[in-house]
Amino acid sequence: MVQIRQKNANYEELSEFTNMVIGLVKNTLIMVNSETPVNIQSVSGTHFPEKIDSKTQQPWPQNKIYGQSVHSVISAKRAEINKVNYVIAGTIFPSNSHPNSLISGTKLIRDISKEISIPVLGVGGITQNNAMQVIESGASGIAVISSISKYKDTYKASKLLAEAIGI
């Protein structure tokens, strides 16, 4: 899955950038981080930030996937009640992209995965060295930025991460 996150882009800019990304990747889910549902034809769905009550955005475009960022069990339960398909929970470990975030550790993943039935992905400071800890705590998968983007060979970095979690 590729998640596009362009917080300051207007809808036209977001659409243009998203279509460029779609042209670069094949056979991959494309999610767009947005406060409102995105209905761009080739986009797989929308990923809502935690601060958005996704229920107020319904009805959503059909045949799409919906996810939400969460930082607590309460937010994860609310997201599931609001019918999102997955949550991304964190910040699990210290992270360069969110340096001022509270660090939850894998306990957050354990606690959330016991309380909800939808997939939970861990995010924040995840590397090849700690990725399996996130999976072992109950996550269905991981979400990363710098663990791939900081390497020249992003394909190889992705493969190493996948191997680290047994894919």
Instruction: Give the CATH number, domain containing residue 96.
Output: 3.20.20.70
Q: Is residue 156 part of a domain?
A: yes
pTM above 0.85, yes or no: yes
Q: What is the pLDDT of residues 105-135, one digit of tens each?
A: 999 999 999 999 999 999 999 999 999 999 9
Domain region containing 160: 48-164
Q: Is residue 95 part of a domain?
A: yes
Q: Is residue 28 part of a domain?
A: no
Q: Is residue 31 part of a domain?
A: no
| Strands 65-70 and 45-48, bridge-based pairing | parallel
Can you give the pLDDT at residue 97?
A: 79
Whole-number mean pLDDT of the chain?
93
Q: Is residue 37 part of a domain?
A: no
Query: Band of the pLDDT at 26, cuts 50, 70, 90?
Result: confident
Q: With 90 as the cut, is the pLDDT of residue 96 above it?
A: no
- 2: CB partners within 8 A, 6+ apart: 21, 25, 28, 29, 30, 31
Number of compact structural domains in the chain:
1
Q: Is residue 22 part of a domain?
A: no
Can you give the pLDDT at residue 98?
A: 77
Q: Is residue 42 part of a domain?
A: no
Q: Is residue 71 part of a domain?
A: yes
Q: What is the pLDDT of residues 47-89, one digit of tens each?
A: 999 999 988 988 998 999 999 999 999 999 999 999 999 999 9
